[in-house]
Amino acid sequence: MNTDTSSLGEFQSAFAAALFADDCSFDPIAALTRQPAFAIYRNTVRKACIDALEANYPAVARLVGEEWFRAVASIYAVSTPPRDARLMHYGADFADFLANFEPAASLTYLPDVARLDRLWTEAHVAAGTTVLDGSALASLPPESLGAMVLAPHPAARWAWFDNEPIHTIWHRNRADEHDTADIAWHGEGSLLTRPQDSVCWFELDRGDVAFLNACEAGQTLADAASASLQAQPDVDLSTLLAKLLRAGAFAGIH
Protein backbone atom coordinates (compact mmCIF):
# COMPACT_ATOMS: atom_id res chain seq x y z
CA MET A 1 0.00 0.00 0.00
CA ASN A 2 2.75 2.43 0.91
CA THR A 3 4.60 1.59 -2.30
CA ASP A 4 1.49 2.29 -4.39
CA THR A 5 0.93 5.60 -2.62
CA SER A 6 4.56 6.54 -3.15
CA SER A 7 4.37 5.60 -6.83
CA LEU A 8 1.19 7.61 -7.29
CA GLY A 9 2.78 10.60 -5.59
CA GLU A 10 5.85 10.36 -7.82
CA PHE A 11 3.64 10.15 -10.90
CA GLN A 12 1.58 13.18 -9.85
CA SER A 13 4.70 15.22 -9.06
CA ALA A 14 6.32 14.31 -12.37
CA PHE A 15 3.11 15.07 -14.28
CA ALA A 16 2.75 18.49 -12.65
CA ALA A 17 6.42 19.31 -13.25
CA ALA A 18 6.14 18.31 -16.92
CA LEU A 19 3.27 20.74 -17.43
CA PHE A 20 5.59 23.64 -16.68
CA ALA A 21 8.78 22.35 -18.30
CA ASP A 22 9.84 22.48 -21.93
CA ASP A 23 11.52 19.08 -21.99
CA CYS A 24 9.83 15.71 -21.68
CA SER A 25 12.48 13.75 -19.79
CA PHE A 26 10.51 13.04 -16.63
CA ASP A 27 11.11 9.30 -16.28
CA PRO A 28 7.79 8.12 -14.82
CA ILE A 29 5.83 9.76 -17.62
CA ALA A 30 8.35 10.25 -20.43
CA ALA A 31 6.23 8.33 -22.92
CA LEU A 32 3.09 10.19 -21.91
CA THR A 33 4.64 13.61 -22.37
CA ARG A 34 5.60 12.76 -25.94
CA GLN A 35 1.98 12.35 -26.96
CA PRO A 36 0.42 15.27 -28.89
CA ALA A 37 -2.49 15.43 -26.47
CA PHE A 38 -0.13 16.19 -23.60
CA ALA A 39 1.19 19.28 -25.40
CA ILE A 40 -2.39 20.49 -25.83
CA TYR A 41 -3.10 19.93 -22.15
CA ARG A 42 0.14 21.70 -21.17
CA ASN A 43 -0.77 24.72 -23.27
CA THR A 44 -4.25 24.81 -21.75
CA VAL A 45 -2.88 24.77 -18.22
CA ARG A 46 -0.33 27.48 -18.95
CA LYS A 47 -2.97 29.65 -20.63
CA ALA A 48 -5.18 29.31 -17.55
CA CYS A 49 -2.31 30.58 -15.39
CA ILE A 50 -1.63 33.50 -17.73
CA ASP A 51 -5.32 34.39 -17.86
CA ALA A 52 -5.54 34.26 -14.05
CA LEU A 53 -2.50 36.47 -13.64
CA GLU A 54 -3.88 39.02 -16.09
CA ALA A 55 -7.18 39.05 -14.20
CA ASN A 56 -5.42 39.41 -10.85
CA TYR A 57 -3.13 42.25 -12.01
CA PRO A 58 -5.29 44.44 -14.29
CA ALA A 59 -3.52 47.71 -13.50
CA VAL A 60 -0.15 46.20 -14.38
CA ALA A 61 -1.57 44.70 -17.57
CA ARG A 62 -3.03 48.02 -18.67
CA LEU A 63 0.22 49.85 -17.98
CA VAL A 64 2.43 47.55 -20.05
CA GLY A 65 -0.06 46.33 -22.65
CA GLU A 66 -1.56 42.89 -23.17
CA GLU A 67 1.18 41.46 -25.39
CA TRP A 68 4.03 42.39 -23.02
CA PHE A 69 2.11 41.32 -19.95
CA ARG A 70 1.17 37.89 -21.29
CA ALA A 71 4.75 37.25 -22.41
CA VAL A 72 5.99 38.03 -18.90
CA ALA A 73 3.14 36.04 -17.34
CA SER A 74 4.19 33.02 -19.39
CA ILE A 75 7.72 33.22 -17.98
CA TYR A 76 6.33 33.62 -14.47
CA ALA A 77 3.95 30.66 -14.89
CA VAL A 78 6.79 28.34 -15.87
CA SER A 79 8.92 29.40 -12.90
CA THR A 80 6.04 29.61 -10.39
CA PRO A 81 3.27 27.06 -10.96
CA PRO A 82 0.09 27.56 -8.92
CA ARG A 83 -0.10 25.81 -5.56
CA ASP A 84 -3.76 26.60 -4.93
CA ALA A 85 -6.63 25.50 -7.16
CA ARG A 86 -8.31 28.87 -6.53
CA LEU A 87 -6.61 30.90 -9.23
CA MET A 88 -7.80 34.19 -7.73
CA HIS A 89 -4.97 33.62 -5.25
CA TYR A 90 -2.39 32.98 -7.96
CA GLY A 91 0.57 35.30 -8.28
CA ALA A 92 1.15 36.24 -4.64
CA ASP A 93 4.81 37.04 -5.31
CA PHE A 94 4.36 38.52 -8.79
CA ALA A 95 5.41 41.97 -7.55
CA ASP A 96 8.73 40.57 -6.31
CA PHE A 97 9.15 38.77 -9.63
CA LEU A 98 8.71 42.06 -11.50
CA ALA A 99 11.18 43.80 -9.17
CA ASN A 100 13.84 41.31 -10.27
CA PHE A 101 12.80 41.09 -13.93
CA GLU A 102 15.51 42.85 -15.92
CA PRO A 103 13.35 43.95 -18.90
CA ALA A 104 11.12 45.86 -16.45
CA ALA A 105 14.00 47.60 -14.67
CA SER A 106 13.20 51.01 -16.18
CA LEU A 107 9.58 50.78 -14.98
CA THR A 108 10.50 51.43 -11.38
CA TYR A 109 6.88 51.91 -10.31
CA LEU A 110 5.63 48.62 -11.78
CA PRO A 111 6.34 46.29 -8.81
CA ASP A 112 4.53 48.63 -6.41
CA VAL A 113 1.56 48.92 -8.76
CA ALA A 114 1.50 45.13 -8.70
CA ARG A 115 1.55 45.22 -4.90
CA LEU A 116 -1.60 47.34 -4.89
CA ASP A 117 -3.27 44.96 -7.33
CA ARG A 118 -2.40 42.19 -4.89
CA LEU A 119 -3.77 44.15 -1.92
CA TRP A 120 -7.02 44.59 -3.86
CA THR A 121 -7.30 40.80 -4.17
CA GLU A 122 -6.55 40.32 -0.48
CA ALA A 123 -9.20 42.89 0.47
CA HIS A 124 -11.68 41.24 -1.89
CA VAL A 125 -11.30 37.72 -0.46
CA ALA A 126 -10.79 38.67 3.21
CA ALA A 127 -13.32 37.78 5.86
CA GLY A 128 -16.17 40.22 6.25
CA THR A 129 -17.37 41.75 9.50
CA THR A 130 -19.12 44.84 10.79
CA VAL A 131 -17.41 48.17 10.20
CA LEU A 132 -16.83 50.36 13.26
CA ASP A 133 -19.31 53.24 13.36
CA GLY A 134 -17.82 56.57 14.36
CA SER A 135 -20.69 57.10 16.79
CA ALA A 136 -19.25 54.30 18.93
CA LEU A 137 -16.21 56.46 19.59
CA ALA A 138 -18.26 59.60 20.08
CA SER A 139 -20.24 57.91 22.83
CA LEU A 140 -17.14 57.13 24.91
CA PRO A 141 -15.90 59.45 27.69
CA PRO A 142 -13.15 61.69 26.26
CA GLU A 143 -10.78 60.79 29.08
CA SER A 144 -10.93 57.09 28.14
CA LEU A 145 -10.23 57.46 24.41
CA GLY A 146 -6.45 57.50 24.70
CA ALA A 147 -6.42 54.02 26.23
CA MET A 148 -8.61 52.48 23.53
CA VAL A 149 -7.22 50.25 20.77
CA LEU A 150 -8.80 50.43 17.32
CA ALA A 151 -8.83 47.06 15.57
CA PRO A 152 -8.30 47.27 11.79
CA HIS A 153 -11.00 45.66 9.67
CA PRO A 154 -9.92 42.21 8.38
CA ALA A 155 -10.42 43.40 4.79
CA ALA A 156 -8.39 46.61 5.23
CA ARG A 157 -5.05 46.76 3.44
CA TRP A 158 -2.70 49.73 3.25
CA ALA A 159 0.81 50.66 2.17
CA TRP A 160 3.10 53.65 1.93
CA PHE A 161 5.30 54.26 -1.12
CA ASP A 162 8.11 56.69 -0.40
CA ASN A 163 9.29 58.03 -3.71
CA GLU A 164 6.60 57.57 -6.34
CA PRO A 165 2.87 58.36 -6.74
CA ILE A 166 1.91 54.70 -6.80
CA HIS A 167 -1.66 55.22 -5.62
CA THR A 168 -2.40 57.68 -8.43
CA ILE A 169 -0.75 55.53 -11.11
CA TRP A 170 -2.54 52.45 -9.83
CA HIS A 171 -6.06 53.81 -9.48
CA ARG A 172 -5.96 55.52 -12.89
CA ASN A 173 -5.19 52.17 -14.46
CA ARG A 174 -7.26 50.02 -12.16
CA ALA A 175 -10.36 52.12 -12.78
CA ASP A 176 -9.54 52.45 -16.49
CA GLU A 177 -9.61 56.23 -16.16
CA HIS A 178 -8.67 58.54 -19.00
CA ASP A 179 -7.26 61.31 -16.82
CA THR A 180 -4.42 62.97 -18.71
CA ALA A 181 -3.51 65.49 -16.00
CA ASP A 182 0.12 65.57 -14.93
CA ILE A 183 0.99 63.46 -11.91
CA ALA A 184 2.90 65.11 -9.07
CA TRP A 185 5.91 62.88 -8.48
CA HIS A 186 6.06 62.30 -4.74
CA GLY A 187 5.38 59.56 -2.22
CA GLU A 188 1.83 58.40 -1.60
CA GLY A 189 -0.04 55.96 0.57
CA SER A 190 -3.04 53.84 -0.28
CA LEU A 191 -5.85 52.23 1.72
CA LEU A 192 -8.10 49.51 0.35
CA THR A 193 -11.19 48.50 2.28
CA ARG A 194 -14.32 46.47 1.74
CA PRO A 195 -16.96 47.95 4.04
CA GLN A 196 -19.74 46.19 2.11
CA ASP A 197 -19.59 44.17 -1.11
CA SER A 198 -17.07 46.14 -3.16
CA VAL A 199 -13.45 47.05 -2.60
CA CYS A 200 -12.91 50.81 -2.20
CA TRP A 201 -9.64 52.71 -2.24
CA PHE A 202 -8.40 55.96 -0.74
CA GLU A 203 -5.19 57.94 -0.96
CA LEU A 204 -3.35 58.24 2.37
CA ASP A 205 -0.76 60.59 3.80
CA ARG A 206 2.29 59.38 5.68
CA GLY A 207 0.64 60.13 9.03
CA ASP A 208 -2.42 58.06 8.10
CA VAL A 209 -0.26 55.04 7.35
CA ALA A 210 1.72 55.43 10.57
CA PHE A 211 -1.55 55.57 12.52
CA LEU A 212 -2.84 52.39 10.88
CA ASN A 213 0.48 50.61 11.44
CA ALA A 214 0.28 51.44 15.14
CA CYS A 215 -3.30 50.20 15.37
CA GLU A 216 -2.33 46.97 13.63
CA ALA A 217 0.45 46.53 16.20
CA GLY A 218 -2.13 46.78 19.00
CA GLN A 219 -1.06 50.20 20.24
CA THR A 220 -3.49 52.49 22.02
CA LEU A 221 -5.19 55.41 20.33
CA ALA A 222 -2.83 57.78 22.16
CA ASP A 223 0.23 55.91 20.93
CA ALA A 224 -1.16 55.69 17.40
CA ALA A 225 -1.72 59.45 17.43
CA SER A 226 1.86 59.96 18.62
CA ALA A 227 3.21 57.73 15.83
CA SER A 228 1.19 59.68 13.30
CA LEU A 229 2.57 63.01 14.52
CA GLN A 230 6.12 61.71 14.43
CA ALA A 231 5.66 60.61 10.82
CA GLN A 232 3.86 63.80 9.79
CA PRO A 233 4.09 66.70 12.28
CA ASP A 234 1.40 68.77 10.56
CA VAL A 235 -1.22 66.00 10.59
CA ASP A 236 -4.72 66.90 11.77
CA LEU A 237 -5.65 63.96 13.99
CA SER A 238 -9.39 64.69 13.98
CA THR A 239 -9.47 64.78 10.20
CA LEU A 240 -7.32 61.65 10.00
CA LEU A 241 -9.57 59.65 12.30
CA ALA A 242 -12.74 60.81 10.56
CA LYS A 243 -11.31 59.85 7.18
CA LEU A 244 -10.30 56.36 8.29
CA LEU A 245 -13.66 55.75 9.97
CA ARG A 246 -15.55 56.83 6.84
CA ALA A 247 -13.39 54.50 4.77
CA GLY A 248 -14.31 51.51 6.94
CA ALA A 249 -10.76 50.87 8.10
CA PHE A 250 -11.73 49.59 11.57
CA ALA A 251 -13.85 46.76 12.89
CA GLY A 252 -14.02 47.47 16.62
CA ILE A 253 -12.62 48.96 19.80
CA HIS A 254 -10.71 47.12 22.52
**47/29 Cα distance (integer angstroms):** 22
Q: What is the DSSP letter of 131?
A: P
Task: Give which of 85, 87, 100 is closest to 53, Cα–Cα.
Answer: 87
Q: Where are the alpha helices (DSSP H) in the chain?
A: 2-19, 30-33, 36-56, 58-64, 66-79, 94-99, 110-125, 134-138, 166-174, 206-216, 221-231, 237-247
pLDDT reported for residue 2: 44
pLDDT reported for residue 182: 85
Task: Give which of 67, 129, 61, 125 is closest to 98, Cα–Cα.
Answer: 61
**185/211 Cα distance (integer angstroms):** 23
pLDDT reported for residue 51: 97
SS3 240: helix
**126/118 Cα distance (integer angstroms):** 12
Tens-binned pLDDT, residue by residue, of the chain (254 aa) = 344 555 756 665 666 666 666 655 555 666 566 666 666 656 788 899 999 999 999 999 999 999 999 999 999 998 898 888 889 999 999 999 999 999 999 999 999 999 999 999 999 999 989 999 888 888 888 888 889 999 999 999 999 999 999 999 999 999 866 777 889 899 999 999 999 889 999 999 999 999 999 999 999 999 999 999 999 999 999 999 999 999 999 999 98
pLDDT reported for residue 41: 55
pLDDT reported for residue 134: 85
Whether 231 and 223 have beta carbons less than 8 Å apart is answered as no
